[in-house]
Structure 1
Amino acid sequence: MAEAERNIGGCNMTTEELRNSLLASPKNGYSRLTDAQRDEMEGYAQRYMAFMSECKTEREATAWAVREAEKLGYKPFAPGMEAKPGDKIYYNNRNKSIALAVVGTKPLREGANICAAHVDSPRLDIKPNPLYEDSEISYLKTHYYGGIKKYQWTAIPLALHGVVYRADGAVVTVTIGEDEGDPILMVSDLLPHLAADQMQKPAGKVIEGEQLNVILGSEPLEGDGSDLVKLHIMKLLNEKYGLVESDFLSAELTVVPAGRCREAGLDRSLLSSYGHDDRVCAYAELEALFSLDMPEKTAVCILADKEEIGSVGISGMQSHYFEHFMETLCDAQGVRLSDCFANSFCLSADVSNAFDPNWPETCDKRNNSQLNYGVAICKYTGSRGKGGASDASAEAMGHVRSTLDKAGVIWQTATLGKVDQGGGGTVAAYMANRNIVTVDAGVPVLSMHAPQELVSKLDCYETMLACKAIYLA
């Protein structure tokens, strides 16, 4: 027998034919795109960039989703409402998270197809009593939210976003630092000339949490007395928003990186933005849902809050707002919620870490996602011995695999770094705890949780197609 031939099942095959038949051979997604698909991908990227530039907090993402849903005929949720095939419904959960559904032709006792992402991101939250003056500079005290490298938040352009519930009962929206003519904010850093002691500290201590104080200004009001710079800042806030200092007690203000989502790389194949984790998957879910007319199974899209701090609280995925929404839909069809959940499937749409050649020692390259290989399916997250993981079954993974293959979606597998390197989690475990079969999948990200993150246009586009395929499965 010739060197390049083997006998398999009674058939002679060359080594190359055998390799193609038996071995996995992942390929860069660009080698699989048609010209028409490239055009669609570019159009999708532009729409996503506009969304990201407008939505930097969970409140802004929720408000955007409500506006777009209503344009498409979605009706606000109300207890006792009907749930007929083709009905489009949304539930705005206190302006911080949202669930949307397109009612399918099959009854809810046969389950729903769910995509669940989150719209909160690491940031600096303003403390309840934040405004102070020191050495004739006015500052805001902050408390960081989620997992950040604190040193990354110094000496970069920052913006202030949020809402304030004033003493007179009015709720005002605050946005400073995003418009071309706006001033930006900043946290100062120590000059290298005087940083001999600082540079000896471990990275986690180079900047302490209590040093993440945001500079607001330095010009004092004319007159006598102390804190004239602070008073000047308060006067400006009063003139624009009608605020007094005690209003900070009932404010929800956050500091985020200023600036728009932009194309990155000379070939423009990447997108740079704050908050890709996880609004990149949230937008994919939304656009996929908005493209549906009348699916067989009811399609449900969830944009949750508080994932970065454990999915806790009234707007997080551990809250019962999701049950409240789904139970009302089930009641309208005379279906028990537990029966619906037992027959449902959820794609926990969250990002994965893209392999970074600068830090290869942190990842198992064979099992890590990488840029431009499509949506990344992750069997389990957790840390070390799979602590906190949902750990999808073979059947669940097989369902996703066959669904995406049938729809022609480009996909890859993912794990979160080397076994003992660290770890993290998603909303998957909380969906699985509801007796809903759940698998993680999402967009690979470089520089995750940094003020600016990188994703590829191709992976973003394929994630949207994956969400659509799951809704229609």
Structure 2
Amino acid sequence: MARDLAPAHDLLRFVDAAPSPHHAVAEAAARLVAAGSVEVDHRAPFAAEGRRHLRHGGTLVAWVAPTAIRQDTVLHLVGAHTDSPGLRIKPNPAADTLGLRRLGVEVYGGALLNSWLDRDLGIAGRVTVRTAEGPAGHLVRLDDEPLRIPQLAIHLDREVNERGLVLNRQHHLVPLWGHLDSTTTEDLLRTRLAAAAAAAPEQVVAWDLSLHPLEPGRLVGIDNAFVSSARLDNLLSCHAATSALTTAPERADRIAVVVLFDHEEVGSASDRGADGAFLAGILERIWLTLGGDRRGFLRALHAGWCVSADGAHATHPSYPDRHEPSHRIALNGGVVLKQNANQRYATDDATAAPVLATCDRLGLRAQWFVTRSDLACGSTIGPLTAAALGIPTVDLGAPQLAMHSAREICGTDDVADLGRLLSGLLAEDLSPVER
């Protein structure tokens, strides 16, 4: 079977360049700049016409806008998130034991903890240093001295395969870094971070650091059927959304917006999360800068639409009983629309209709995901964005297995399909969502 492998290979380049939310924002911004976007500072007045983007920590907002607002101008949004479940380094990192140098970490989000064992791990994120001009943030990536969390040998836990692996987050998820010497673990980490930031160790003030698996992503399976990589949830959607915006046309009747949020995996309640005021404030500033008024801004939200793009659970071949039997989801089976009667997803019949029509026009397949009635359902930025903005919203994404593992898998065809769908949605004339 001939597959379009180019989108998947480009996704792998994106993911491998983005070991932390800060790096994901930097990589997305670099791609936007290459497509003609101009970066602006959200802390200052900014021009809003044309292709623009801004960063706020691990969150990015990018848009394509006309030179002026018309009475029929609307807002078209695509949202995703840059963060993934994993391990974050504590402010006081030393967790040394028995002469071994170890780093203390916190579990971030709903990680599959066992998947972080027995892997070579790097350190990446942002470090803030003190300068004469004030605090300055620097991206850092330390891959040359890998850490590792070794599992207890089976000889010392004979029943583990029958009883199941039980991990204590405080005691069993402490990565090994080396042997202790006269240098403290905190001082050694500070020295390594300072070198990566081209600063002196005493200038290092604080950090926001994640661990990441060092093995690169790759295509796997017969005929390159699958993509195996870390952080597919949700860098796959970030990649597709960013790529779609780089080709979105400048039109007088719409503002096309992509927002890549941080902190989705921990509830989104932050100054730059989806459950906050940041996006609404930026959108209104764009609107007013282009000459619109608040009444027109609210109309543009109500007449517009939002896509919340996030990973969807494919039906697991070893655990089919964990899935809704009448809604089987196949890898390489097409983009998944997600619906939940209790509003854990924002999709309803009216918001699904334009997406399904676009799939028909583009020759794309679509699948419906519903959680089993006797299992709890996850959620996304979709309901939060819909509630905060009053904008019609649909939840969709590419299917995957092993979600929240340190290594996830998705279908190669689905990578291409999601990119085509988001590009089509940002480029096409869509009828207003009928209520």
- Cα distance in 2, alignment partners of residues 54 and 366 from structure 1: 38
User: Which residue does the alignment assign to 1:430?
Assistant: 384
Quote the offset at 1:343 in angstroms: 1.1
Give 1:411's aligned amino acid: A
- Cα distance in 2, alignment partners of residues 246 and 119 from structure 1: 28
Farther off after superposition, 148-157 or 426-435: 148-157
User: Does 1:374 find its partner at 2:340?
Assistant: no
User: Which residue does the alignment assign to 2:292?
Assistant: 334
SS of equivalent residue, structure 1 residue 184: strand
Quote the offset at 1:344 in angstroms: 1.3
**Any conservation in 1 of the 2:93–2:185 contact (CA below 8 Å)?**
no
- Cα distance in 2, alignment partners of residues 456 and 100 from structure 1: 27
- Cα distance in 2, alignment partners of residues 170 and 350 from structure 1: 32
User: Which residue does the alignment assign to 2:405?
Assistant: 450
SS of equivalent residue, structure 1 residue 366: coil
Q: Report 1:107-186 matches (<5 A).
A: 107=70, 110-167=73-130, 169=135, 171-177=137-143, 182-186=144-148
State which of 395, 402, 410 in structure 1 corresponds to 2:357: 402
User: Does 1:283 find its partner at 2:236?
Assistant: no
- Cα distance in 2, alignment partners of residues 157 and 370 from structure 1: 31
Give 1:276's aligned amino acid: L
- Cα distance in 2, alignment partners of residues 265 and 50 from structure 1: 19
User: Which residue does the alignment assign to 2:214?
Assistant: 258
Give 2:255's aligned amino acid: T
Larger Rg: 1
Superimposed CA distance per residue, residues 35-84 of structure 1 (whole angstroms, 9 cap, x where no aligned partner) = 6xx4xx21112111111111121101111122221222212346655545
User: Which residue does the alignment assign to 2:367?
Assistant: 412
- Cα gap change, 1:450/1:155 in structure 2, threshold over 3 Å: closer, same or farther? same
Structure 1: state its 5+ residue gaps: 1-29, 222-227, 381-385
SS of equivalent residue, structure 2 residue 275: coil
Superimposed CA distance per residue, residues 71-120 of structure 1 (whole angstroms, 9 cap, x where no aligned partner) = 22212346655545xx1111212x31111111259737542111101110
**Any conservation in 1 of the 2:128–2:137 contact (CA below 8 Å)?**
yes
Quote the offset at 1:293 in angstroms: 2.6
- Cα distance in 2, alignment partners of residues 99 and 236 from structure 1: 33
**Any conservation in 2 of the 1:101–1:298 contact (CA below 8 Å)?**
yes
- Cα distance in 1, alignment partners of residues 7 and 396 from structure 2: 19
User: Which residue does the alignment assign to 2:155?
Assistant: 193
Quote the offset at 1:355 in angstroms: 0.9
User: Does 1:218 find its partner at 2:167?
Assistant: no
RMSD: 2.6
SS of equivalent residue, structure 2 residue 367: strand
SS of equivalent residue, structure 1 residue 285: helix
- Cα gap change, 1:68/1:372 in structure 2, threshold over 3 Å: closer, same or farther? same
Structure 2: state its 5+ residue gaps: 431-435
Quote the offset at 1:148 in angstroms: 1.5
Quote the offset at 1:392 in angstroms: 2.5
- Cα gap change, 1:325/1:171 in structure 2, threshold over 3 Å: closer, same or farther? closer
User: Which residue does the alignment assign to 2:263?
Assistant: 306
Give 2:181's aligned amino acid: P
Superimposed CA distance per residue, residues 132-184 of structure 1 (whole angstroms, 9 cap, x where no aligned partner) = 4211100110001010122221111111111222355454433122xxxx232
TM (norm. structure 1) is 0.81
- Cα distance in 2, alignment partners of residues 468 and 171 from structure 1: 33
Q: Report 1:71-90 matches (<5 A).
A: 71-77=34-40, 81-84=46-49, 87-90=50-53
- Cα distance in 2, alignment partners of residues 109 and 335 from structure 1: 13
**Any conservation in 1 of the 2:269–2:275 contact (CA below 8 Å)?**
yes
User: Does 1:348 find its partner at 2:308?
Assistant: yes
Give the fraction of aligned pairs with identical amino acids, expressed as a percent: 22
Give the 4+ runs in structure 1 shifted more than 6 A. none
Quote the offset at 1:262 in angstroms: 0.7
SS of equivalent residue, structure 2 residue 61: strand
- Cα distance in 1, alignment partners of residues 138 and 78 from structure 2: 32
Quote the offset at 1:328 in angstroms: 1.5
User: Which residue does the alignment assign to 1:364?
Assistant: 324
Quote the offset at 1:431 in angstroms: 1.5
User: Does 1:267 find its partner at 2:223?
Assistant: yes
- Cα distance in 2, alignment partners of residues 389 and 45 from structure 1: 29
Quote the offset at 1:412 in angstroms: 1.7
Give 1:426's aligned amino acid: T
Quote the offset at 1:244 in angstroms: 4.7
Give 2:409's aligned amino acid: L
- Cα distance in 1, alignment partners of residues 185 and 47 from structure 2: 54
User: Which residue does the alignment assign to 1:470?
Assistant: 425
- Cα distance in 2, alignment partners of residues 354 and 469 from structure 1: 24
- Cα distance in 1, alignment partners of residues 181 and 391 from structure 2: 59
User: Which residue does the alignment assign to 1:8?
Assistant: none
Give 1:419's aligned amino acid: S
Quote the offset at 1:286 in angstroms: 0.9
SS of equivalent residue, structure 2 residue 235: helix
- Cα gap change, 1:174/1:201 in structure 2, threshold over 3 Å: closer, same or farther? farther
Give 2:309's aligned amino acid: A
- Cα distance in 2, alignment partners of residues 208 and 97 from structure 1: 28
SS of equivalent residue, structure 1 residue 355: coil
TM (norm. structure 2) is 0.88
Give 2:85's aligned amino acid: P
User: Does 1:103 find its partner at 2:75?
Assistant: no
**Any conservation in 1 of the 2:194–2:201 contact (CA below 8 Å)?**
no
**Any conservation in 2 of the 1:109–1:339 contact (CA below 8 Å)?**
no
- Cα gap change, 1:83/1:133 in structure 2, threshold over 3 Å: closer, same or farther? closer
- Cα distance in 1, alignment partners of residues 410 and 366 from structure 2: 15
- Cα gap change, 1:366/1:102 in structure 2, threshold over 3 Å: closer, same or farther? same
**Any conservation in 1 of the 2:116–2:406 contact (CA below 8 Å)?**
yes
Quote the offset at 1:246 in angstroms: 9.8
- Cα gap change, 1:459/1:231 in structure 2, threshold over 3 Å: closer, same or farther? closer
- Report the count of equivalent residues: 415
